[in-house]
Amino acid sequence: MELDIGLLKSNLVSLKSKLIGVHGSNKLSFNRLIKELDFLSGLDISYVVYHDDFFRQIRNSLKLLKDYDFTILLENYTIKDHNEFNELYLDLKKELRGLKKCVDTGHVNMSHDKNLENWIDKDVEVIHLNNNFGQDTHNSIYNGEIDFREVNNILKKGRCISLEVNKSYGTYLKNIEYMIKFGLVPFDNVDVALNHPIMQEKFIREVRSLLKKVFKDNLFCSFIYGSFVRKKMNMESDIDLMIILKSKTAKISFFHNDYVKLCADYNVRLDQKYPFEVFLKNDVNEYLSPDNIEIDYKNIDDVQELFFAFLDNNIFVKGKKRNYLKYRKEITQKLLGANKIGNEAYNKSELKEIVKKYVLSQQQHI
């Protein structure tokens, strides 16, 4: 996390215990710089950043600076050539031995040399991520001339990444989601985007919105289960979505088309035969009725999937949550007994075997 020095001073109580980087003031006399650095030395920060033009102003006084527990960084700002930037860095480092570099990607895109590989080397401690169309606008990383997917390997050379985009928290979150989705630094170790909680929350919001738009009041309840919930998806995984409706509807095909597009946007391939499960409320009630000692299941595999879904790790998505909880409790008690929760007491294979035995025992015609 990197903060402007002014914001840090105005929120000192709430922020002083957090490990942060600070963007220092760039219009200071040397004496005021000393005061600012002394102030920062009383906080638990990892670095402070100053622009190249500011360092040029104070370069003759650098030898008077004492050593600090945090790193001081030189950021490219007015300098348009990477060789010139490196020359300034090496010259300043003679007086400030602990000096490191900060490279701002947006400032690089405004320079004569737009090749990030020329700017980012072993001395780069922090990379400021932002995009633009040639002006210092600090756009979102997906809104500008830089394709960060193409330069991701170059970004790995920096020790820290600081997202430097303007506007709201919502914009900031969209940038994080973009970085996770395309495996950009520092999220390059996320094998499947939907294993990350931020992307899971985004996906659930979009599924919830789609369910509401298509089924409206006809939706009884819906939830997701399986590897998505366990955060153990791989490139072959699909999304296990259970939908229970109040009555039959012709809108399932509309939902299917939009849902397939949504999952494709997250690089998820759905099972072509069963992209999601749909049951009617009355059918579920019949399966759970205490009066049904024997049930003639039309599709034994579907019923097994229904019971397994409620017993497995799952996340409520849309509908009346009390309906979902009621079914979950009834199925758990019916198949496992009153004192056990399925996903806590059994693994996936054990649950499937329990469900299979129960359904077969209730089947009238095998």
| Bond from prior residue into 186 cis (ω within 30 degrees of 0) | yes
Domain 197-362 class in CATH:
alpha beta
d(CA 308, CA 312): 6
Arithmetic mean of pLDDT over the chain: 88
Interval 23-61: pLDDT, tens? 877 777 778 888 888 888 888 889 999 999 999 988 888
At 82 the three-state DSSP class reads helix
Can you give the pLDDT at residue 308? Answer: 95
Residue 8 has pLDDT above 60, yes or no: no
Can you give the pLDDT at residue 338? Answer: 62
Can you give the pLDDT at residue 346? Answer: 84
pLDDT category of residue 3 using cuts at 50, 70 and 90: low
Can you give the pLDDT at residue 12? Answer: 46
Q: Quote the tokens at residue 190.
A: 């996320």
pLDDT category of residue 365 using cuts at 50, 70 and 90: very low
234-240 long-range contacts, CB within 8 A, separation 24+: 234/191, 234/192, 235/191, 235/192, 236/269, 237/192, 237/268, 238/263, 238/268, 238/269, 238/270, 238/271, 238/275, 239/194, 239/263, 239/268, 239/270, 239/276, 240/277, 240/309
Can you give the pLDDT at residue 17? Answer: 47
At 71 the three-state DSSP class reads strand
Q: Which residue has the tokens 């397994």?
A: 308
Strand 240-245 relative to strand 219-225, pairing: antiparallel
pLDDT category of residue 340 using cuts at 50, 70 and 90: low
Answer whether 120's CB lies under 8 Å from 127's CB: yes
List, in sequence order, every residue forming a beta bridge with 75; answer none if it has no partner. Answer: 51, 102
Residue 71 has pLDDT above 80, yes or no: yes
Can you give the pLDDT at residue 116? Answer: 97
Interval 85-143: pLDDT, tens? 999 999 999 999 899 999 999 999 999 999 999 999 999 999 999 999 999 999 999 99
Residue from 72, 46, 45, 40 nearest 58 by CA: 72
* CATH number of this structure's domain 2-189, picked from the four choices 3.20.20.70, 3.20.20.150, 3.30.70.330, 3.40.1280.10: 3.20.20.150
Residue 163 has pLDDT above 60, yes or no: yes
Q: Which position has the higher pLDDT, 297 or 65?
A: 65
Residue 11 has pLDDT above 70, yes or no: no
Measure CA 287 to chain center: 39
Domain ranges of the chain: 2-189, 197-362
Interval 273-329: pLDDT, tens? 889 999 999 999 988 876 654 555 566 788 899 999 999 999 999 999 999 999 999
Residue 82 has pLDDT above 80, yes or no: yes
Can you give the pLDDT at residue 232? Answer: 86
Residue 233 has pLDDT above 70, yes or no: yes
Residue 243 has pLDDT above 70, yes or no: yes
Can you give the pLDDT at residue 79? Answer: 95
Highest mean pLDDT among 47-61, 189-203, 214-228: 214-228
